[in-house]
Amino acid sequence: MKQRRLIIPFLLVCFMMLTMPSSYADGPVTVSDTDMRFTIGASTYMVNGVPNAMDAAPLIIDGRTFLPVRYVATPLGASVAWNNIEREVTISLNGVILQLWIDQPHALVDGQSVLIDPDNDQVKPVIIDGRTMLPVRFVSENLNCSVIWDAITRQVKVVHNSDRLIKQGAAVASMVKTNSIFLATMLQLSRLSNPY
C-alpha cells in the first residue's frame, strides 16, 4: 500500500522534469524560421537546406537581383496577389503590406510611398517571359528578412527570423509556477482519495 502512495508523486516529478526546458540561459533567443538561398542563373534554390525548383532563375538587372516573388514569399507564409489591370503585386505578411507596380520605381509599404532603391531610381519590377520579377532585397527586407550577397558564389541568402523572442528565464519561471500548482493539486487529490 505504501508503494501505491508513492507512485503518484513519482509520476508528477517525472512530468515536471520532462516539461522543463533544457537551458536556463537568461535573455532572448531568436528562432530562425526560414533560410533561403538563390543563385544567379540557377533554376533551383534552397529553403532550409532542401532544394526546390523554380520556373525562372534569378537574374541581375541594373546591379540588383530580381526573381519571381513567390519563391521568397511562399516559404515565409506571405500571401501574394496580382492585379492584372493595375499591373500591381501585393504581398502581405504579419501585418506588413507591400504594393509594387510594374515599371514603377516607387512602392507602397504599409501605405507609405517609398523609392524601391534610393541609390538607383531605375530599379523597378519587370515582366520577363511572362514572369513578374521583383527586386529581392527590397521585398525581403520589408518582410523583416536579412539579405546577404555573396559575390564569389553569386548567391543571395535570405533569412527570416521570427518576431517571437523566447525569453527563457521568464519561460522557466512561468513553467515552474504552473508545474508547482499542478503538483500541489495532484498531491491534494491523492491524499483525498487515499486516507492512509
Please spell the DSSP secondary structure of 8-41, one letter per residue. Answer: HHHHHHHHHHHHS-S----SEEEEEEEEEEEETT
pLDDT of 161 reads: 77
Q: Which of 73-77, 110-114, 172-176 has the lowest mean pLDDT?
A: 172-176
pLDDT at 172 over 50: no
> For 162-176, what is the mean pLDDT?
45
- State the pTM of this model: 0.65
Helix ranges (H only) for 48-144 are 70-76, 136-142
pLDDT in tens, 82-113: 999 999 999 999 999 999 999 999 999 999 99
pLDDT in tens, 34-69: 899 999 999 999 999 999 999 999 999 989 999 998
Select from 115, 150, 153 the least CA-distant residue to 135. 115
pLDDT at 9 over 70: no
* Contact of 101 with 83, CB cutoff 8 Å: no
- Bridge partners (DSSP) of residue 115 are 106
> For 127-139, what is the mean pLDDT?
93
DSSP 143: T
